Homo-oligomer: A and B are copies of this chain.
Amino acid sequence: MKMKFCSECAAPIVRLIPDGDDHLRDVCSQCKTIFYQNPKVIVGTLPIWDDKVMLCKRAIEPRYGYWTLPAGFLELSESTWQGAQRETREEAGATVEEGMLYGVYDLPYISQIYMFYLAEVKDGLHEAGVESLEVDWFERSQIPWHDLAFPVIKTMLERYFLDRDNGTFSTFHETIEFRPRVHYNNESGD
């Protein structure tokens, strides 16, 4: 979001490259404060119970009605694991334990970093939060591959089943360089 007014003194903002910098910044025309904008971190979990994976059906745009993993923006003063636990509680009503940082995804085209924890759900209990239409457990053969909300969810699940076949899980990192061509509900008007 480009700033129009300075949040310190309310004067108009100009876009310029400050001395000694090499990026365009929002700078106050009056008090000269420089406002930096930085990528955001999204934290979530790949919740596991027995041999099943938990997915949530989105009750919000984009991708209303499609299946996703519980995830959301990391808050200030929160560790990524705390954030992942919070999102899983909020969106899926589930308590995750013994999480391991599993998938780290760079999505530079939207200035986001996803950090997914692989985590066990206590007793398999869940309850759809306000951002989910429903929450359910899926065996491998039941995964709705064509109704997943985002490419990063598909990639994450594929990796998980591959690692499960190999019997070994470790933290991995991938960069998704370009915006995948996906038709979103709210873009296509479907």
Contacts and interface: CB of A to CB of B under 8 A. Distances in A.
Interface of A: 1, 3-10, 13, 20, 23, 35-41, 73-82, 101, 104, 106, 108-109, 111, 113, 115, 130, 170-173, 175, 177
Given A5-B5, A79-B177, 17 more contacts: A1-B7, A3-B7, A4-B8, A5-B8, A23-B75, A36-B73, A39-B41, A39-B74, A41-B41, A41-B113, A77-B108, A78-B111, A79-B175, A101-B173, A104-B115, A104-B171, A170-B170
In the complex this chain forms, how many copies of it are found?
2
15 contacts: A1-B7, A5-B5, A5-B6, A7-B35, A23-B75, A36-B73, A37-B76, A38-B73, A38-B75, A39-B74, A39-B78, A77-B111, A78-B111, A79-B177, A80-B106
A170 B140 CA distance: 28
A173 to B, nearest CB: 4
Contacts of A173: 101, 171
Nearest to A102: B173
Nearest 7 A/B pairs, CB to CB: A3-B7, A101-B173, A5-B10, A171-B171, A10-B10, A79-B108, A79-B106
Nearest to A107: B79
A41 B104 CA distance: 13
